[in-house]
Amino acid sequence: MSNLVWFRNDLRITDNQSLKKACNNDGNVIGVYCFDPAYYQVSDFGLDIDMELPFSKTGKFRAQFIREAIEDLREQLAAHGIPLLVYSSSPAQVFPALIKEHKITDIYLQKEWTRDETDQEKLLGTALEKLDNKPRGHRTYDQFLFHPDDAPYSTFQEMPTVFTQFRKKCEKESQVRPLVDIKGYGQVTPQVTQTTIPSLKELGLESFEKDHRSAFPWKGGATAAWERLNHYFWETGKLQYYKKTRNGLVGIDYSCKLSAWLTIGSISTREIYYEVQSFEKEVKKNQDTYWLIFELIWRDFFKYVSLKNGNNIFKLGGILEKDYEWKTNQDELVKWINGETQERFVNANMKELAATGWMSNRGRQNVASYWSMHKEQDWRIGAAYFEHILIDYDVHSNYGNWMYNSGVGNDPRNRTFNIQLQASRYDSDGKFQRLWLQDELF
């Protein structure tokens, strides 16, 4: 008898509830990860528009980051006698045979609730219904700082629309759960058929060399995540200046840059939270150190927004059901993606994104405002491009922030940015724009 851990956006062995529960159960443990083709194909992103979006759901930057994370996860699991099987197929295609071959009695997975993930689970459920001995499924919320069972609301519908109300109530009435681990767990590795991690080419993507100008030059995986955290927290002490520098544009240390590892679960929000607490005890506690926890709560908030509103986060009117007249212009999309707009600051940010898969928080707000508020283009198209290109794409934060910046989300105010003023404030010496607009006059 065996237990199967279906890894999704929880690519770590530390503080992983699904893995912990599987290890506590009788029988061997086998890990599985699927590079589901549905996530690597060009699609319409579910948008009801008469317009071609010439990019896939997952682009080369995030795909490579995930590949690296899977390599790291496989090594860490192997140290505990747990094999990780990797497939370039959907779970519905590969799980039934695995379940029969290894006599799987239980499947453990992180609970997801957004459209693509639930569609994937439904297909798997249909495939498993055909089995004589269907395994038990165990879904666990494991991507929150404040677990849904501990949030100070009896239902998701009670969640406030305003972030500040959510934050203050959670900080006052909720506790962060303790970490879990599988230290001491180890068995003889079960016999499995070895699998390989698909190349970018096999995923239908082109290979690339990292741009030397990138503000995010790191690899995927828990090992790299912890190296980054130790550098930013303990080796340099940059955490104590986080709030003051977080709106930077150039270099690796203007912010913690942990979001990409958080997105795929190579490190958990709880792990970061407790490291901040340790830093505050041992080094310094100030508004800057608190601000990193503040940002973790923002991540939680957008996850609760999607729990409360479901697929409305993907609709044109957003969660406010606003009826604006949005445009869909292919030429404007090409100019925006290629950094060929009338705004130099937008262009520099979009060229950085295209070359590296990374953009600063300040840049993201400006290019989103330009697309949806200045050009009045369908905000979901911008969100879909971010989904494709960003290394740290997270469905909840991405669509939550795009709604927020487009006047259809949790802040109905007009958030149109004065982009030239933003450029003069955050890139007053033009260093960032010169870095990415090398062939343009200043």
User: So where are the chain's domains?
Assistant: 2-142, 144-182+221-311, 315-436
User: Measured between alpha carbons, how far apart are the two ends of the chain, in Å?
Assistant: 67
What topology is assigned to 315-436 in CATH? DNA Cyclobutane Dipyrimidine Photolyase, subunit A; domain 3 (1.10.579)
Query: Mind listing the pLDDT tens digit of every residue in the chain (442 residues)?
Result: 899 999 999 999 999 999 999 999 999 999 999 999 999 998 888 888 888 888 999 999 999 999 999 999 999 999 999 999 999 999 999 999 999 999 999 999 999 999 999 999 999 999 999 999 999 999 999 999 999 999 999 999 999 999 999 999 999 999 999 999 999 999 888 899 999 999 999 999 999 999 999 999 999 999 999 999 999 999 999 999 999 999 999 999 999 999 999 999 999 999 999 999 999 999 999 999 999 999 999 999 999 999 999 999 999 999 999 999 999 999 999 999 999 999 999 999 999 999 999 999 999 999 999 999 999 999 999 999 999 999 999 999 999 999 999 999 987 667 799 999 999 999 999 999 999 998 554 4
DSSP state of 233: I
Compute CA distances 18 → 8, 110, 137, 182, 387, whole Å: 11, 6, 11, 11, 26
Find tokens 């239980």 and name the residue: 106
- Whether 439 and 348 have beta carbons less than 8 Å apart is answered as no
In this prediction, residue 267 carries a pLDDT of: 98
Q: Which residues are CB-neighbours of 121 under 8 A, at least 6 positions away? A: 112
Q: What does the buried/exposed string (b/e) look like for 257-274 if buried means 16 or more CB atoms within 10 Å of the residue's CB?
A: bbbbbbbbbbbbbbbbbe
CA distance 276 to 284: 10
Beta bridge mates, 377: 327
CA nearest to 128, candidates 85, 103, 95 = 95
Beta bridge mates, 217: none
Q: Which residues are CB-neighbours of 317 under 8 A, at least 6 positions away? A: 323, 324, 408
In this prediction, residue 439 carries a pLDDT of: 58
SS3 214: coil
Q: What does the buried/exposed string (b/e) look like for 158-187 if buried means 16 or more CB atoms within 10 Å of the residue's CB?
A: ebbeebeebbebbeeebebbeebebeebee
Compute CA distances 86 → 19, 23, 101, 124, 335, whole Å: 16, 20, 16, 16, 38
Whole-prediction pTM: 0.97
- CA dihedral sign of residues 398, 401, 404, 405: negative
- Give the Cβ contact number of residue 204 at 10 Å: 15
440: left (phi over 0), alpha (psi -120 to 50) or beta: beta
CA distance 193 to 440: 54
DSSP state of 218: P
158 φ, ψ to 5°? -80, -10
Q: Which residues are CB-neighbours of 405 under 8 A, at least 6 positions away? A: 365, 368, 369, 372, 373, 379, 415
In order, the DSSP letters of 258-327 are -HHHHHTTSS-HHHHHHHHHHHHHHT--SHHHHHHHHHHHHHHHHHHHHHHHGGGGGSTTGGGT-----B
CATH 3.40.50.720 applies to domain 2-142: no
What topology is assigned to 144-182+221-311 in CATH? 1.25.40
Residue type at position 53: L
